[in-house]
A and B are shown apart, each in its own frame.
Chain A
Amino acid sequence: MRVMSENPDYTSTQTTEPRMLSGADMLVEVLRKEQVEVVFGYPGGAVLPLYDALYECGIRHVLARHEQGAIHAAEGYARVTGKPGVVIATSGPGATNLVTGLADAMLDSLPIVAITGQVAKSVIGSDAFQETSIIGISTPITKHNYQIQHASELPGVFKEAFHIANTGRKGPVLVDIPKDVAGEVAPFVYNAPPQLPGYQPTVIPHVMQIKKVLQHIELSHRPVILAGAGVLHAGASRELRLFAERFGIPVVHTLLGLGGFPADHPLFLGMGGMHGSAAANTALYETDLLLNFGARFDDRLTGNLADFAPTATVVHVDIDPAEIGKNVPTDIPVVGDAREAISLLLATEAKSPEISGWREKLLDIKAHTPFWYVQEGNVIKPQRLIEQIAQHTNGEAIVVTDVGQHQMWAAQFYPFVHANRWVTSGGLGTMGFGLPAAIGAQIAEPNRQVVAVVGDAGFQMTLEELAVVAELELPVKIVIVNNGALGMVRQWQELFYEERYSSSLMKWQPDYLKLAEAYGIPSLQIRDDGALPECLSAFLAAPGPGLLECLVAPMENVYPMIAPGHGLHQMVGVKP
């Protein structure tokens, strides 16, 4: 019997002989079948056959200036579109330059398909030119990886790779292709769904668990929703808002979850954790029912585990069962997709809890302890810089950051009202992430304003990617928050190492304006607060790329803060 399916991939009953293709041509066909629009990469000896096949194939290739830039760009693309980012690197140094990005994508659950070249099969293991065991190197930092032994395996492997990267808990998958495999000719068959008995993610949660959750909601007095990036990966923003409104439960976001729930919503308490809001952390500390949707209880969120939600019944919804109970003991585990779980919660009859007192208390804290800074003279406060960026972009921009103080200020002071417009490196905290990720985000959303907020230190790690911005005339607006230091390192040294600023101050810096000029990117520098609004307005409105160097107050610290080893109730610097 012929089975008809709507998916064109599976319909073709093979009446004619399958086409014979080389491994390299198969790769192009695979990218077409997976509807890959853009590939980020850098060529080299072992991938020359692949690059030859890519030449004039119609799939866009973005030439990064370093493989790390290529994979961070793919991450930015994946974060904004929700589709897998594809990156190609050559063997040896090309492959090892992907390592940081693979680890970053692994910790932040971003779907990435990384394709690496490998030396020919006949010399694998002989320490051949540009050979490394990238399979061995990448095993702990990928969701899965493959080395193809024969071109006939290639279609099946890629079918699995895209499937694994983009389902369940998303993550990076690496496919290593020996150079001679790219030249081998084999039949190309790309219509079988992957057979992976060892990989069957649970998407639909268990209905009994959902009922238990609802029972606890009805009886709760101090419930709070903790929403993580799982909400964004599942596309569950709408469901989350409906759920919070239906039961009147306040919402706390993790760093990576920002934008999943609108920041201007009356039930939003802000970001929780080390540099989170007082309202959010009070809610997490005092709650009696913690509803975790797609957050993994990272230690930057929980603080000291002994003091995390000490009196709460913990509900943990996660598509990855290994996250449940890993850090925080869970009372009601719900394995499944956040959207499916919240939809089921919404579909069932349940009374809203009577929690107006709790809600009012938290909203009162929110109203009385907003994130703060003290304006001093005419110096630019980085917090005000972020506020001004938010104002001049109407809160509509895609904000990409690097890692450090500016990242925390962006999270605190930019109101994210839409999903998938916040691109940052959360789990790995990768300095150098910002600029290349912004490139990927801008390529994904050519018509949306992309602002890359970077620190002077992180920017210097991947600034070679300015060439990509210039070459493609990407209208990325790069804002360097220059405090002349590795700001967060300096802050910790100030607070915990008796102000011994060991190697954290940038005693020498390049002339960023000349650097921008060298890359053909318009630039300006600003140091006076008074000129900030006008300057930002013109900078953001100008067409094409731009670089703005802001010389900000160098000793400014990120507050509030929970010192390492302390609990969520032990915040310091809540008020000026």
Chain B
Amino acid sequence: MNRVISVSVNNKAGVLNRITALFMRKGFNIQNLTVGVTETPGLSRITIVMNETDDAALEQVIKQLYKQIDVLKVTDLTQQPMVARELALIQVNSPVAQRSVITTIIEPFRASVIDVGRDTITVEATGKAEKIDALIALLRPYGIKELARTGLTALARDVAMVTEARRVSEGNVISI
């Protein structure tokens, strides 16, 4: 099962390294990871997607993340309502004769053409990972020349409803 963990961290040199080093140490593979600034100056949000089914192992990862001085908040979004999006840029072979076909294909995905070359066009698509997978599958027969995906970034829906992993819960221990 894919887990989505959102980590608020200080925006400082070396912090990302500390976070990924933890995953390395525990032997967990990160499926994808995105980082960007947040609404609070000096804070960044790291969204990590990992494939891990063991609850105890995940709990250990979250607790170890919390031990990092530069980590302010860790949220396991997996079991929560969340909005998750990914951006993909797809450069696809597109001789002039086929261009309108491709435009028709991408239209239902609400993707758009952001660059046009002599033989290719570049498509920008945003959405859930499955939607992007589907679009890529449809475009593949035309010949994808280059592809870049950002990986997932996510937020919990309606922040007030979120029960996040907290330092101290009623049970006096981190719960997830």
Contacts and interface: CB of A to CB of B under 8 A. Distances in A.
Interface in B124-176: 167-168, 170-174
B171 A321 contact: no
Contacts of B21: 139-140
Contact of A321 (B10, B63, B71): B63
A137 B71 CA distance: 20
A325 B67 contact: no
B69 A199 contact: yes
A507 interface: no
A335 B170 CA distance: 11
B72 A333 contact: no
B66 A322 contact: yes
Contacts of B174: 321-322
A202 B63 CA distance: 14
Contacts of A325: 56, 59-60, 173
A208 interface: yes
A198 interface: yes
A104 B17 CA distance: 22
B86 interface: no
Contacts of B171: 206, 209, 333
A333 B175 CA distance: 11
A362 B71 CA distance: 46
How many B residues touch the partner, as a band? 20 to 34
Given A198-B10, A321-B63, A326-B60, A205 B172 contact: yes
Given A202-B172, A206-B171, A208-B172, A322 B67 contact: yes
Contacts of B172: 202, 205-206, 208-209, 333-336
A164 B67 CA distance: 11
Q: Which DSSP category, helix, strand, loop or mixed, fits chain B's interface? A: mixed
A198 B173 CA distance: 16
Interface string B1-35: 00000000110011001100100010000000000
Given A135-B14, A208-B170, A333-B172, A198 B69 contact: yes
A197 B173 contact: no
B173 A333 contact: yes
A197 B168 contact: no
Interface string B49-73: 0000000100110011011111110
Contacts of A136: 17
A335 B59 CA distance: 16
A221 interface: no
A336 B171 CA distance: 12
A164 B18 CA distance: 17
Contact of B71 (A198, A205, A208, A330): A198
Contacts of B10: 198
Interface string B69-80: 111100000000
B69 A335 contact: no
A206 B170 CA distance: 8
A325 B173 CA distance: 10
Nearest to A200: B167
A330 B59 CA distance: 13
Contacts of B13: 147
A235 B83 CA distance: 48
A336 B172 CA distance: 9
Contacts of A320: 67
Nearest to B68: A198
A406 to B, nearest CB: 32
A374 interface: no
Interface string A175-190: 0000000000000000
Contact of B66 (A135, A321, A330): A321
A72 B100 CA distance: 72
B105 to A, nearest CB: 46
Contacts of B70: 198
Contacts of B167: 200, 202, 321
A397 interface: no
Contacts of B170: 206, 208
Contacts of B66: 321-322
B18 A321 contact: no
Interface string A313-327: 000000011101110
Q: Which of A136, A321, A322, A333 has the most CB of B within 10 A?
A: A322
Contacts of B25: 140
Contact of A322 (B17, B60, B168): B60
A198 B64 contact: no
A454 B171 CA distance: 45
A4 interface: no
A196 interface: yes
A197 B64 contact: no
Contacts of A139: 14, 17-18, 21
A208 B173 CA distance: 12
A21 to B, nearest CB: 25
A200 B69 CA distance: 9
A279 to B, nearest CB: 31
B63 A144 contact: no
A333 B169 CA distance: 11
Contacts of B18: 139
Contacts of A336: 172
A369 to B, nearest CB: 36
Interface string A326-348: 10001001111000000000000
Interface string A137-178: 001100110010000000000000000100000000000000
A132 B56 CA distance: 36
A164 B60 contact: no
Contacts of A209: 171-172
Contacts of B60: 322, 325-326
Contacts of A200: 167
Nearest to B25: A140
Given A140-B21, A324-B173, A206 B63 contact: no
A321 B60 CA distance: 10
A206 B168 contact: yes
14 contacts: A139-B17, A143-B69, A144-B69, A196-B69, A197-B72, A198-B9, A198-B10, A199-B69, A205-B172, A321-B174, A322-B67, A326-B63, A333-B173, A335-B173
Given A135-B14, A139-B17, A140-B25, 6 more contacts: A205-B172, A209-B171, A321-B167, A326-B63, A333-B173, A335-B172
In the A-B complex, the 9 residue pairs with the closest CB atoms: A206-B172, A322-B63, A333-B173, A209-B172, A144-B69, A198-B72, A199-B69, A335-B172, A321-B174
